[in-house]
Amino acid sequence: MALNDEKKSLRQKLNDTEKELVVCRQKFGELNGQYDDLFQRYSQLVSSQIMNNNASIQDIDYHDPPRQVAETFHAELYKKQWGDAFDVLDKILTDERVKLEILRDFCRDSYLICVFVLCGQAENLRRALDPFSTKETSPAESNNSVSVLSNVLYILPGPVREEFIRTRRQFKNFKRILDNQCCKGNTAERVKKICGEEVVYRLRQYIYSSIEISWDMLLQTPPMVLDFSIEKGRAIDPEVMEHYSYPGPRVEFLVWPTVYRQCGGPVLSKAIVQTCRGDGKE
């Protein structure tokens, strides 16, 4: 009887702690939102003061869609949607690395599905416009390569390319189809085996948001790049990476990808990596 009472007491303490954790995360989200708002207002104030009566920079165009997309990818998808998805997994899984890798892999699957589909559609359009062309995609390249998509879009006549991009931006229903495909992919199947099918359903908003922003990235001119290739043991490059939990000299595993303006272009958002403890050379 005493053992049952102790179990009930511990279970109640656990429930209370989980409730406190939820409240803390909600407060963190609110404070983070307030910080973003204040930072935006501060940036606008500083920008207006710099621009005021400064003829040397008044003609500069600060409207940069790729940079805005990269900021949305980090602020909205990673800081908000990712956090909600992590909470779902956190109630089921105990291994933090498994949770982080699942969320990373869903983002990667979403991006690669969009690359594959857009590349195929653009290539079909190119062939329809020039059915007698002998140009073929290099055997060394695959439909999962953003460079292929960039090359095909570059070959299309300007007005055709612009119309292709414009119509794809309106494919709301099509994004749902891609979302369904991602929920049947390798990462989704792995999660179903570990956690059950219900968990994939609860992660659906995160997956759809990943599809939506990946689609938007690839419809920039030229297409933006998400880099998931950072591997264990690589030396930390502060120009490209930020640490996740603690600083260290080398990468243990990738948590969140690097965002590049284009193939071979500048970094718009740094990768998030979990670092090795010690020198990382074991």
Ordered DSSP codes for 161-225:
HHHHHHHHHT-HHHHHHHHHHHTTSHHHHHHHHHH-HHHHHHTHHHHHHHHHHHHHHHTSSSPPE
In-domain check, residue 7: no
How many domains is the chain built from?
Answer: 1
CA dihedral 38, 42, 48, 54 (to 10 degrees): -160
Q: Which domain holds residue 207?
A: 65-223
Q: Which of 12-16, 90-94, 151-155 is predicted least confidently?
A: 12-16
Q: Across the chain, what does the average pLDDT equal?
A: 80
pTM exceeds cut of 0.85? no
Task: Establish if 267 belongs to a structural domain.
Answer: no
Q: Which residue has the higher pLDDT, 172 or 143?
A: 172
Is 234 within the bounds of a domain? no
- Give the 3-state secondary structure of residue 91: coil
Q: Is residue 128 part of a domain?
A: yes
- pLDDT tens digits, one per residue of 106-122: 999 999 988 988 888 88
Domain presence at residue 12? no
The pair of three-digit structure tokens given for residue 5, joined into one six-digit string: 């009472």
Contact 258, 272 (CB under 8 A): no
Q: Is the pLDDT of residue 50 over 70?
A: no
Residue 246 placed within a domain = no
**Amino acid, res. 269:** S
Q: Is residue 19 part of a domain?
A: no
pLDDT tens for 32-46 read 556 555 545 544 554
Q: Is residue 107 part of a domain?
A: yes
Continuous segment of H or E residues that includes residue 134: none
| Between 89 and 49, residue with greater pLDDT | 89
